[in-house]
Every structure is written in structure tokens, then in C-alpha cells.
Homo-oligomer: A and B are copies of this chain.
Amino acid sequence: MSERLIYLPLGGAGEIGMNAYVYGYGAPGKERLILVDLGVTFGDMEGSPGIDLIMPDLTWLEANRDRLEGIFITHGHEDHLGAVAHLWSRLNVPIYARKFTGTLCRLKLEEAGIPADTVQIVGPRPEVTELGPFKVQYVPVSHSIPESAALVIDTPAGRVVHTGDFKLDGTPIVGDPFDPVMWHDIANEGPGVKVLTCDSTNVFSSHPGRSEAVLAAPILDWVVAQKNMVVATTFASNIARLKTLSEAAIAADRKVCLLGRAMRRMVSVGLETGILTDFPNTIGPDEAANMPRNKVMLLVTGSQGERRAASAQLSRGRYLGLSLKEGDSFLFSSKTIPGNERSVGRIMNALSEKGIELYDGDDGLFHVSGHANRPDIEAMHDLLKPEIVLPMHGEHRHLREHMNIARSKGIASMIATNGMMVDLTGKAPRVVDQVETGRLYLDGNVLIGAMDGVVRDRIRMALNGHALVSVIVDEDDNPIPDAWVELSGLPGRTRGGADLGEHIEGELAEFLETADRKTVRDDAKIEEAVRKITRQVSMEEIGKKPEVSVIISRLMAE
């Protein structure tokens, strides 16, 4: 059988977050593999309470790791590199990244006790990294973090362009501007582009994307107009935005104070790697607290409403000696990611209660997106003229819309979601396998499977409450009729005012007193009966069936 080029997303295709895309080339089942990105997504109370980080289940890749050549990281966002430190030991191959991204990655690996030299720093095109049948070039693109890159992946079956997260920005403030000539060359070298694997995040935004540079004037006007303390929040990694905000502060005769560990880290890595030059001097929180309020701008983390970030802390009260007051101004130089509306709203309202004037990016004056909008995505299609477009980095509906756009131009396209192995060798993509995929949850410091039932049980307890019953069976196999019931997350009183726990205990006593020996000798039977009675009594008394845990203790004759 001849060799083939395959694509296998393990995360990020059918969701925004947790990116992990496999490419392979070789004889079927023996393809040599590379992995592009290894990111996380974040848990939420609704779907994964108690879980901070979610990452792709790499079972398939682990089983085939002798075929894996390396991991290429496109840029430094958590949804592209956040899982590396947690999962690298299961793969144990070299990691490739450009300097800024690689430095961020090394910091994470070092915290996890993995040697920094696991990450190899590579330069942008024309530098080529050759790994097995792959020749990989990093092509600078603009995004909301410096040094984002598309990958040009040359294989014997043709050229793949994997955009990573990108926008078309001729004036990105930090990093390389969009270079149409370079992209023209990429499109026209040799037989051209076979496959374009392309960011779909903003496919529903119908206006052309705007440059980072358009924000400078409105932000400066805004800072100049403020009378008291000025606070601005954005993603810590959006260094271009931090620069624009800081320069506006300096121009308005204010000092800049960075609050939040992530923000200080990003700026320092930016300076250290040379991607950031002439960033204004900053002052510490102590100094800021002693300056006149109209001489300071705080640049703070927490634009997405994160509970422990600086924005949230300031909205609740004093933080590192600083506090906000009536007449201060707070700018969200950001867009709220869908799903975070309530958390962000909570902070905005808490600030409003303190008398602080709020400003946000909604009318476009104070924020631009880091992703290509629909016209920009189309421009990329037109520029690269690929045979095949594979939409990625999107929920299913984003991928569908992106596929429809490609097909309307006569380009072959399909929706390949996590676990679908696609053969790209022919004129059109073709599904050749479906591998098992899933999600891993980092719970405390343990990685558990999303389907293990741990989180399901948490959700059930949260929705239904939890009744605990302790049953004791004595040495002679007689149950002690006084079962003990403890309720957690349940109303103690029924509608009529009775004690729910006592009521359940009463019904259980009746059962235990009359239970036959066969039942009493069988833990499963006792448990089933106790659970049924507890749920039934609760349903009658409070209209709700709780989760029930039963502990049966059998006393032993000494």
C-alpha cells in the first residue's frame, strides 16, 4: 500500500480550546507523526465543577508514541501550550517553538521538573526543522500574543499550512506585520498548498478585522479624559495592548503599575526575549499607593472575571495596599469570552457599587480581536489557493460555517472533529478511522478521565443534595434500628416544618426492624432499600430526590 498524509485532531476541533492536532505521513498505520500544539481548556461550574484544567486524552498518541517525532507549539496561549507540562512525560519527544513561546514553555516545564532543553528554540521561515518526512517552517502571523506562528509543513504528499490562531494585521504594535509577499511565496512555491488547516474562531464576524494600531488614539483620549485613578485590564499575554495602554498612561503623565503575576511574567519574558522593546518603566504597588490618584494607571489581570485575579480582588476591596474609590475609572480592554459573562458582570457590578465608572470594548474603541474574521479567513483562502480547507479551532457550528465558505469557492472541505483520522493524500479529504478521544481533568493534582464518574457525582450532589445514612449491623446479624442520617445541601425542614432527617430516620427504623435475614446479610440489598426509602421520603416531604450514600458497618464478635 502506498504512503499517505493524515490529519487527526485530538482536541480543538469541535470546541474552542484544548488544541492538539496530529499530522502523519507514511504507510497506513505506520505514519511518522508530529503533534501541533498541546493546550488546555478551563473547567466551569456547570460542566466540570472543581476542575481547573481540562486537557485532551492522548491515549491514542501514547500508544503510538514510537512513531511521534516531536511537538510544535504555534504560540504561547494556554489553549495551545497549557497541557505540555502535564502530559509531556507520556510522550517524551522534543518540543519546538519560537523564542518567546519556547521561553514560556520552558518556565512551565521547569516548574514540573522537566528539563528546559526539552524545548528547542527555532527561528522563523526560512529556517526549516526537518523531522522524519516533515519539513516544518514557522511563519509569523499576528494574534493577541506576540510571536504567534503559522506552520508550513512540507511532506512528500504536498504542503500543509496550519494557521494556528491568526489575524491579518499590517500594524500589530508588537511583532511582525502581515507580509503578503511571504504568503504569496508560500502559496506559489512548488505545486502550491495542498491543505489549509485554518482558524475558525471568528467566522461569524462579518466585518474585516481591525489592526491593533487603531486603538492607540481612542485609548489615549480616554486616559487623558479621566480625572482620578485609572485601571485597565486585558489578557496578560496581550503585550501589544499592554504597550498601547502603558504608552497612553505615560503620555497622560501617569505612572504604570502592573498587578497580577501573569502580567509581570509576560512583560518580563517579552523584554528578556527581545520581542518587547522600550516598554515604559513601571512602579510597584507600594509606590502607586502613595502617588496622587490622577498620576497612576493600574494594569491588571482578570479581564475574564477570574475570581482570584487582580480585577476581582480590587472589585472586592483592598489589594496589595491599593483600593478603588468613587470617581475612579476602570477599562475592560477586552472581549468577554462566551460563558464568562456572569463572572465579568459580577466584577463590573461590584465596581459600579463602589462608584467607579466602567468602560469596555463593546463599541470597538478599546478592543480589537486577535482572530481573523470571515473576510480575513476568505482572504487567506484566496491567498493560499489550497486544494483542501480543514476548518479547526472552533465549535461544530464554526467549523460548519467555515466549511460552507470554502465549498462555496469550490474548495474541497469537511468538518473533521476530534478523533477523526482524515486521509489528505487525494483530491478531497476522506475519513479513514475514528480513534478514541476524550478529556482529562486535572483535579487537585490528579489527572482523571472526564467519564470516570467523579465529576458526574459532584454535579448530582450539587443539583440534588446528598443524604448520608449509616447502618450498623451487630455481631448476630441484627441491624440496629437507629439508622443515622446526615443531610448535606438539603433543606432541614419540610414544607410543613418537620425535621426531614428525623423523618427519614423514622422510616428507616421501620424498615430495619422488620427486614428479613436474607436482606440484612446482603450489603447490596440493605443499600438498595435504604436508598429507595430515603429518596421516597424526601420526594414526599420536600419534592426532591437526593443522592444517597449508605455506609453499612458490621460489628464483629471479638
Contact = CB atoms under 8 A, between A and B. Distances in A.
Interface of A: 14, 44-47, 49-50, 204, 206, 338-339, 341-342, 345, 348-353, 357-358, 362-363, 395-397, 399-400, 443-446, 448, 452, 454-455, 457-459, 461-466, 468, 470, 472, 480, 482, 484, 486, 488-495, 538-539, 542-544, 547, 549, 551, 553, 555
A363 B204 CA distance: 10
B551 A454 contact: no
What are the 3 A-B residue pairs with the smallest beta carbon separation, nearest first?
A444-B544, A444-B543, A445-B543
Contact of A458 (B44, B206, B395, B462): B462
Contacts of A490: 454
Contacts of A46: 44-46, 342
Q: Which of A46, A49, A339 has the most CB of B within 10 A?
A: A49
A46 B48 CA distance: 11
A460 to B, nearest CB: 8
B491 A206 contact: no
A480 B542 contact: no
A339 B342 contact: yes
Contact of A349 (B14, B352, B457, B495): B14
B395 A468 contact: no
Q: How many copies does the complex hold?
A: 2
B489 A446 contact: no
Contacts of A352: 395-397, 399-400
Nearest to A445: B543
Contacts of A399: 352
Given A362-B204, A462-B462, A395 B345 contact: yes
B339 A555 contact: no
A365 B299 CA distance: 39
Contacts of A357: 400
A47 B547 CA distance: 20
B470 A461 contact: no
Interface of A is mostly: mixed
A482 B472 CA distance: 13
Nearest to A360: B204
Contacts of A551: 468, 470, 484, 486, 551
B454 A458 contact: no
A183 to B, nearest CB: 30
Contacts of A484: 470, 551, 553
Which one of A206, A349, A358, A399 has the greatest number of beta carbons of chain B within 10 Å? A349
A396 B349 contact: yes
A136 to B, nearest CB: 32
A459 B465 CA distance: 10
Given A358-B397, A464-B50, A470 B553 contact: yes
A466 B464 contact: no
Of A350, A362, A363, A470, which is in contact with the most chain B CB atoms at under 10 Å from its CB?
A470
21 contacts: A14-B349, A45-B45, A49-B462, A49-B463, A345-B397, A350-B396, A444-B539, A444-B544, A446-B494, A446-B542, A448-B491, A458-B461, A458-B465, A459-B462, A461-B488, A468-B549, A468-B551, A472-B472, A472-B555, A484-B553, A488-B549
A18 to B, nearest CB: 15
A467 B495 CA distance: 29
Contacts of A351: 397
Contact of A444 (B204, B358, B397, B542): B542
Contact of A395 (B45, B349, B480, B553): B349
Contacts of A464: 50
A332 to B, nearest CB: 11
A555 B489 contact: no
Given A14-B349, A49-B459, 15 more contacts: A44-B342, A45-B45, A45-B46, A45-B49, A50-B489, A357-B400, A444-B491, A444-B543, A454-B490, A458-B463, A461-B462, A470-B553, A472-B553, A484-B553, A553-B553
A446 to B, nearest CB: 5
Contacts of A457: 488-489
A41 to B, nearest CB: 12
Nearest to A485: B551
A206 B362 CA distance: 11
Given A461-B462, A480-B555, A446 B495 contact: yes
